[in-house]
Copies of this chain bind each other. A is one copy, B any other.
């Protein structure tokens, strides 16, 4: 404790009489540098005018002491937009699409010296609410998330409490919200049109949840492709999954067991596509001869699968990047009109249909 030590630090010997037991705080730095804590604080935040030489001296002392600002204390005091933490709440971290998206968000945050608090709500609105509360209680500067459904009252509530929210992938019906989406209707349209061009007239749809924007829009693309081709939609071929693997497997089984089964399957996300493949594999059906297959979202092994899987690819990483950028823009200018980006999906025609 109060003992005086001679210590070699950064190449020079120093007399130290400080508590060595706990981490140094602003006060410690101030004392050591013979300045006030405001001066130290200001050199850290870059706010206020401190003479260059004072700043250098303070920085030197911080280095000597191995001082690291306490993010918790800082956040408690700092005002909105300056807390250096954003929240990312995603439906399913085990979905490669969201993993890529998360990387996009994280990289931009990292460059801005922000940390990301990443949570996983497992497509469960109750868990989504829990994490929404956590984010609020953690005083994050903003939240990025694909809401559980289009009319997500919990998200709206958080937003009205003053925390900026950016919707990614899925959106909210409220148009005043910042969002980054991919053109789902178009992506789905192209997929189904591709199938129809190949001669398919009975296309089984493994759709996403009807109350998500992505589910609704991809369904609409499916309908439009039929409409434009003059093909009537057989409603029994449309089934709603939950974007998870088992639902894809089960729905594929249902569809393929129909008296008049579809000749092609369109899975509205990657996990459900995997599920569908499970079923096709179990029934030893040949792709695309017996069932043609197309999916939404690319997959690591898709290109080398047998046959290579045709999918609608989404720029997941870029979606994350843009969303983070939008959020940072929002932090700079809270009053700006809502930003809304729509990126383009891309049909990657491979061999499965």
Query: Which residues of A are in contact with B by a Cβ distance under 8 Å?
Result: 23, 68-73, 75-76, 93-94, 96, 99-100, 102-103, 106, 110, 115-120, 127, 130-131, 133-134, 136-139, 161, 245, 271, 274, 277-278, 280-281, 299-301, 303-306
A120 with B102, Cβ < 8 A, contacts A127-B110, A300-B274, A306-B306 known: yes
A115 with B134, Cβ < 8 A, contacts A76-B72, A304-B277 known: yes
Whether B118 contacts A119 by the Cβ 8 Å rule is yes
Whether A72 contacts B103 by the Cβ 8 Å rule is no
* Bound complex: CA A136 to CA B69 (Å): 10
Smallest distance from the beta carbon of A84 to chain B beta carbons, Å?
Answer: 9
Whether A72 contacts B139 by the Cβ 8 Å rule is yes
Smallest distance from the beta carbon of A315 to chain B beta carbons, Å?
Answer: 15
Q: Which residues of B contact A281 (CB under 8 A)?
A: 303-304
Q: Which residues of B contact A68 (CB under 8 A)?
A: 133, 136-137
* Bound complex: CA A38 to CA B271 (Å): 49
Binding site secondary structure of chain A: helix
A71 with B23, Cβ < 8 A, contacts A94-B99, A306-B305 known: no
In the complex, the count of this chain's copies comes to 2
Smallest distance from the beta carbon of A73 to chain B beta carbons, Å?
Answer: 6
* Bound complex: CA A304 to CA B278 (Å): 6
Q: Which residues of B contact A161 (CB under 8 A)?
A: 23
Q: B75, B110, B133, B305: which contacts A305 (Cβ < 8 A)?
A: B305
Between A130, A136, A300, the greatest number of chain B beta carbons within 10 A of the residue's beta carbon is seen for: A300
CB-CB nearest in chain B for A136? B68
* Bound complex: CA A277 to CA B301 (Å): 8
Q: Which residues of B contact A300 (CB under 8 A)?
A: 245, 271, 274, 299-301
Whether B71 contacts A138 by the Cβ 8 Å rule is yes
Whether B138 contacts A72 by the Cβ 8 Å rule is yes
- In the complex, 18 of the A-B residue pairs with CB atoms within 8 angstroms, ordered by the A residue number, are A70-B76, A70-B137, A71-B138, A71-B139, A72-B75, A76-B76, A93-B99, A93-B102, A94-B99, A94-B103, A102-B120, A103-B120, A106-B119, A110-B127, A115-B131, A271-B300, A280-B304, A301-B301
Q: Which residues of B contact A245 (CB under 8 A)?
A: 300
* Bound complex: CA A306 to CA B115 (Å): 41
* Bound complex: CA A48 to CA B68 (Å): 34
Smallest distance from the beta carbon of A167 to chain B beta carbons, Å?
Answer: 20
Smallest distance from the beta carbon of A105 to chain B beta carbons, Å?
Answer: 10
* Bound complex: CA A139 to CA B299 (Å): 37
Q: Which residues of B contact A102 (CB under 8 A)?
A: 93, 120
